[in-house]
Chains A and B, each alone.
Chain A
């Protein structure tokens, strides 16, 4: 009988644990270099399991203050990140750099504003965030459930007309924030930590998974990737996927965006429908990318649409 009681106890324990962790982000920072940590996003599409936490969030600790890169998908995520950072350091979180406006990078920012953190974001991206935020939020709630987005709000906030590039000092370490406009989005920010030679490039670089192109200018994006390849870094933190140490890995992002762009232009020129192209399957060289099919099917019609009635 005692044996059964134990089993029951274990079941009850496991069940209550599941209830608690239902909408909790199970994230742990990985140390990239001394005092630089990254929360790796689930390298997947937004789904009810990952709660939208699909991109990477990072933080850099100086001797006086802390800088965070990207706010994650929701208020809950922002709270969790702040809670974890506080367990690492009691210094104030002074800056949040939001690399661009896509929900998986920006929707947690209202939590940081509450925290007294200064938000650094390109003006074009703030405009998009404010303009489309509520509709996107509603879409995301429909997609994976309201619970993941409790307290998530789209807030208009002041941006003191920042001129990029800007330098911030976290105490003992110099950070440069640069603007790469009209590339992957209208205004992507790149963060460089000079001390550790670490560069945070947002969604200008995707590792392993297929890059998404809905707001992209492919020509500029291409140039920017070359610029990033030529600049001096030891570690590169992409917006999605694992840490990069070899410059050659950036070619994967280049290859995809050029390939899909070429196909779309050709299709538009010949008057083809996306249905006809999809019917042929995904091109062989693109199959090695994660989420290749999803991205191919989502983005190709958009690009064809962009070119076909130009």
Chain B
């Protein structure tokens, strides 16, 4: 009798244990066992449990990554403060993980910061950009790749030498923003375009403030993508973007392949720049200019 009962339970178990083609799928690091146990379910409907989970994952105390990242990028003895007024504006739930638009809104007290680093904890390439400003900057926007659900963190170094950290948890519907080709079935933007074409646009904002938007055509290969023949596409990305105008430098940005292909960058300046120019260098050592370079330089 007991054996029969066991047998029924076994069959019941086998029935519910089946979770579709995603059953062999591994969820991202840093998430608890119960969440990662049924990624399909979780991805399809984020519930109250996953919201609690995200709050927990956002707490740097629970993060497996944060301490290492902090030591490595901000320094061993960095003074770190998790603040609420540094906001990362982006979707909570991401459908297309290859080009995720986000904007970092910087509070007034930090407009004249010394350095800004954007991090995606659960990405194979965690650092997205590191920016050194030369002017007052109010917001920074860009498109990033997301490999999996992850806390996104922006670390801003203020004049007093304190790091102000803003955080946001995001969920990714179909994982693999870094490791699958950026060619969505619906979009098909998989043709490599001309490398190094730069477009710069300037927009007026209220009270003399300005927004600069720049786009650089570049494949930004992560080195994690396999092509149709099974060959790994080697990494190839923009390493540095230098933005200046006639009055001198505006920002110097170190970039990594966690930025999307054909990256778009957005800078909100407190004061209008005068004929903004962009100079780009990539990992092959190629240089691109948004302007005609003076040969005598």
Contacts and interface: CB of A to CB of B under 8 A. Distances in A.
Q: Main SS of chain A's interface residues? A: helix
A7 B8 contact: yes
B187 A274 contact: no
A24 to B, nearest CB: 14
A140 B185 contact: yes
Contact of A275 (B89, B190, B199): B89
Contacts of B96: 297-298
Q: Count chain B CB atoms within 10 A of each CB in A14, A134, A138 and give the residue with the most.
A: A138
A132 B190 contact: yes
A49 B15 CA distance: 16
A302 B91 contact: no
A297 B18 CA distance: 31
Interface in A91-110: 102-103
Nearest to B183: A135
A132 B8 contact: no
Interface string A174-201: 0000000000000000000000000000
B67 to A, nearest CB: 29
Q: Main SS of chain B's interface residues? A: mixed
B279 interface: no
A8 B4 contact: yes
Interface string B81-113: 000000001110001100101110000000000
A302 B1 CA distance: 63
Interface residues of B, number: 43
Q: Count chain A CB atoms within 10 A of each CB in B14, B180, B188, B228 and give the residue with the most.
A: B188
Interface residues of A, number: 47
A290 B281 CA distance: 44
Minimum-distance CB pairs A-B, first 6: A145-B21, A271-B203, A275-B101, A309-B199, A274-B101, A48-B20
Interface of A: 4, 7-8, 11-12, 14-15, 18, 46, 48-49, 102-103, 128, 132, 134-136, 138-140, 142-148, 212, 214-215, 270-271, 273-276, 278-279, 294, 297-298, 301-302, 305, 308-309
14 contacts: A8-B4, A15-B15, A48-B40, A135-B188, A135-B190, A136-B183, A139-B181, A145-B21, A147-B21, A212-B186, A270-B203, A271-B211, A273-B101, A298-B96
Interface of B: 1, 4, 7-8, 11-12, 14-15, 18, 20-22, 40, 89-91, 95-96, 99, 101-103, 141, 174, 176, 180-181, 183-188, 190, 199, 201, 203, 211, 213, 215, 228, 264, 266
